[in-house]
Structure 1
C-alpha cells in the first residue's frame, strides 16, 4: 500500500539494535584495555564482574517470586508450574541462573590468582543488595523507552489489539466484496460520480482520534449521498449481520463533485474514550502514540493480506490544520487524485503502432510494447538444437 511521504515521516519506525551494538562495542573496548594493562588477571576479573552483575537481578527476582507465591499463584498463574512459568516470569530463568553459575564456577577455578584481599569480596555481597533495593524503588527503571520497546516487540500495546480486531472483525470480511458492491451501485445509480481510481474504501485515521459521526458536520464540502449495497454475514451467532458503507460526495474548490466510499476507523473511538476516562490512565500523549502505532500496525497487516489488496486506502489526518474548514475534503480529494494517477499508469499506457516501421537509429529508444499480445505462427519446419535428428512424422502445410 502506497502512502504519502509526509505520513511516512510521521509514523515511528520499529526500534533497532543500536543499544546492543553499543554495549558490545564498549565491552570489547573495555576488555581490550584491561587485557593490555593486566593480562594475567583478565579471566578472573571478567568472572568477578559477571558474578556481581548477575547476582543483583537474581536477588530482585527472589523478591518478586516471594510476592507471586504469597498472593498470586492461584489467581494470576492458575496453578502453572513453578519451574516452567513462575520462575522465568520473575526473572529467574535459565539464562540468568546459567550466567551466575558459570561466573561462580570460573571464579572458583581461578581462586588461586586472587589478591590477598580476595578481590574485594565485600562487593559481591554489597552490590547485589544495593542493586535489588534500587530496582525495587524504581531508581534503575524500567524506563519508558524500555517499556515501549518491550510492548512494541511483543505486540502488547492497545493499538496492536485494536488493529488486529479491526482487521479480523471487519476489514477482512467486507473488503473482498467491496468492488462488487461498488459496481452494483454504479450500475443502479447512473448519476454517480465515481472516478476511475476510487474503487477503494478510504479509511480516515485522525491523529487526535476525535471522530465525528457525520462527515458533513466537519466539512461543508462533504455531503452524504447514499449507501452501498449491504453485506450480510452470519457472525458470532447473529444471523445475517449487516455491514454497510456510506458513499459521500466531496466537492473541490471549483464545485466539481467526486463520489467515494469513506469512513473513519472505528477503533479510534475506543482510544479517544480511554483518554477521557481517568481510570484508564491514558493521557493525550499516550493516545497520540497509540494512534500512530495503530496506523503502522494496520498498514503492515493489510499490506500482507491478499484478500484486502488494492481495496483500501489509509489516510492519516494530522491535527495541524484545524483552522482550515475544508481540510478534510482537500485531504480526501488529494488521495483520490493520487489513486486516479495510479490507475491511469496501470491501464492507460500508450500502445505501439504496429504499422510504423522501426528505424535502425531508434534501437536505443524503442516504442512502448503493445499490451495486447498477438499469436504469431510459422509454417517453416522446426530446426534441431543439437544436430540432425531423424523425423519420420510428415508435416503438412496449409
Structure 2
C-alpha cells in the first residue's frame, strides 16, 4: 500500500538544493590552488581584479536602478521609507555586494599591480563593468527561469503558495477541528453501519487533480461514487458575516464487490483559480505553468497541514494523476486505496501478551505449580506475570520515625 506514496513523491517537486553552490566552491578551490602553485606572489592581485570585475558591474547597474526608484517611486512604492534600509537592498546594493567590492579594493591596494603592464589592469577594470551594465539592461545577463523560480519559491512568492495559505487559513483551519463532531452527529442521525466508517473515513479527503480541471459533482466523475448526504452545517462568524455556513458532503464509494464505503471528500477549491487563470490569455499562465503550480500547491499545503496542530490527523491529501483519465473508475479506486491504506496503517491488531508462569512440576495436575506449605496453610505460587491490580492498606498511617544517633565516639 505504499505505492501511492511513491507515486506522489515521484510527481511532487522537491525544494532545490545546494549542488550549484557546492560545485562552484569546489571549482574555486581547485583554481586558487593551481594559481598558488604557479605564481603565489600574484595570487591576491588576480583575486582582487576578478572580484572587482564581478562586483563593479552590479554596483553600477544598482546605482542606475537606485536613481530611477529615488526619483519616481520613492513615495508610491516605498512610502517615504529610508534609502539605506529599503531602496539599496531592493536595487541590488546589499551589504554582501558592498562588502565584496570593498574587500576587493583592499586586496588590490595591498597587492600593488599584479599585471606586468599597468594600463592593462585598469582598462580591464573599466571595460568589464561598462559592458556589464549594457548587457544587463538588454537582458543578456538577466536571471534564468530556474533562478527566478528558485527565488520565488524561496521567498514564498509563487501563486500556489498564496493559494495554499488562503485555503488553509480561510477554510481548513476553521472546519477541520469540528469535523469529528460533525461526523458523530451525522452517524447518530443516519442508519450507517459501524464497520463502513473506519478511522480513515473520519478524515476529510482533499482531492488534488494534476490538470486542475475539477467537476462540481463527484458523481459525474465516477459512477461508483454516490452522494449520500451532507454533514451538519458549521456556522462560524467570519469577516463580518454572522453565522457563515460551512458544510461537507458524504459519499458512498463502491468497491469491486459492491460494498459501500462512506467518506467525506471534496476537491481543493483553489484549483478552480489555477484552471481559470490558465484559460485567460492576459494571465500569462499556460498548461505547463498550471501543472507546476498544482504540484507546488500540493507540496505547500502538505507542509502547512503537517505543522498545524488544529488539523493534525483530520485530513488526507490525495494527488490524482491525469494520466489515468481513460479509466472511468480511477477516482473511486484512488479513494478506496487511501481508505484501505489508512485502515491498515492505523489499526494493527496484535494478540494479548503471553503470560509466563513458573516452571510446572511433573506431578502437578494440569501443569500448575505444586502447592507449598507455609505457616500451616497450603499456597499455590501465582504466575510470574499477571494483570496489575491495585492494593489498598486498611491500617492507619504511622508517623515518621525520628532520626536515631547510632554513631559511637572513641577517645
The TM tier, using the shorter chain, reads 0.7 to 0.9
TM-score, normalization by structure 1:
0.87
For structure 1, list consecutive stretches of 5 or more residues without a partner in the other structure: 361-369, 380-390, 394-398
- C-alpha separation in 1, matches of 2:280 and 2:75: 30
Tell me the residue number matched to 1:227.
230
**How far off is 1:18 after superposition?**
0.8
Taking a change above 3 Å as real, the CA distance of residues 242 and 55 of structure 1, as seen in their structure-2 partners, is same
**How far off is 1:48 after superposition?**
1.2
Tell me the residue number matched to 2:88.
87
Superposition map of 1:157-176 within 5 A: 157-176=158-177
For structure 2, list consecutive stretches of 5 or more residues without a partner in the other structure: 361-384, 394-399, 403-411
Tell me the residue number matched to 1:14.
15
- C-alpha separation in 2, matches of 1:328 and 1:91: 49
Tell me the residue number matched to 1:177.
178
* Contact 2:45 2:113 (8 Å CA) reproduced: no
Tell me the residue number matched to 1:39.
40
Taking a change above 3 Å as real, the CA distance of residues 108 and 353 of structure 1, as seen in their structure-2 partners, is closer
Tell me the residue number matched to 2:216.
213
Tell me the residue number matched to 2:374.
none
Tell me the residue number matched to 1:365.
none
Which structure would you say has the larger RCO, counting Cα contacts within 8 Å and 6 or more residues apart? 1
* CA deviation profile, 1:363-385 (whole Å, cap 9, x unmatched): xxxxxxx9x97346599xxxxxx
* Contact 2:46 2:114 (8 Å CA) reproduced: no
Taking a change above 3 Å as real, the CA distance of residues 358 and 181 of structure 1, as seen in their structure-2 partners, is farther
Q: Does 1:263 align with 2:282?
A: no
* CA deviation profile, 1:32-89 (whole Å, cap 9, x unmatched): 1111111111111111111111101111112222322333222222222111111110
**How far off is 1:108 after superposition?**
2.2
* CA deviation profile, 1:299-348 (whole Å, cap 9, x unmatched): 11111111111110000000001111111111111111112112322xx3
Larger gyration radius, structure 1 or structure 2: 2
Taking a change above 3 Å as real, the CA distance of residues 202 and 52 of structure 1, as seen in their structure-2 partners, is same
Tell me the residue number matched to 2:371.
none
* CA deviation profile, 1:73-127 (whole Å, cap 9, x unmatched): 2222222211111111001122212211221232123225552334531110111
Tell me the residue number matched to 2:344.
341
- C-alpha separation in 2, matches of 1:213 and 1:162: 19
Superposition map of 1:327-366 within 5 A: 327-345=330-348, 348-354=349-355, 357=357
- C-alpha separation in 2, matches of 1:359 and 1:119: 97
* Contact 2:163 2:297 (8 Å CA) reproduced: yes
TM-score, normalization by structure 2:
0.85
Aligned residues: 369
- C-alpha separation in 2, matches of 1:172 and 1:235: 12
* CA deviation profile, 1:122-171 (whole Å, cap 9, x unmatched): 11011111112112222222001001111111111111111111111111
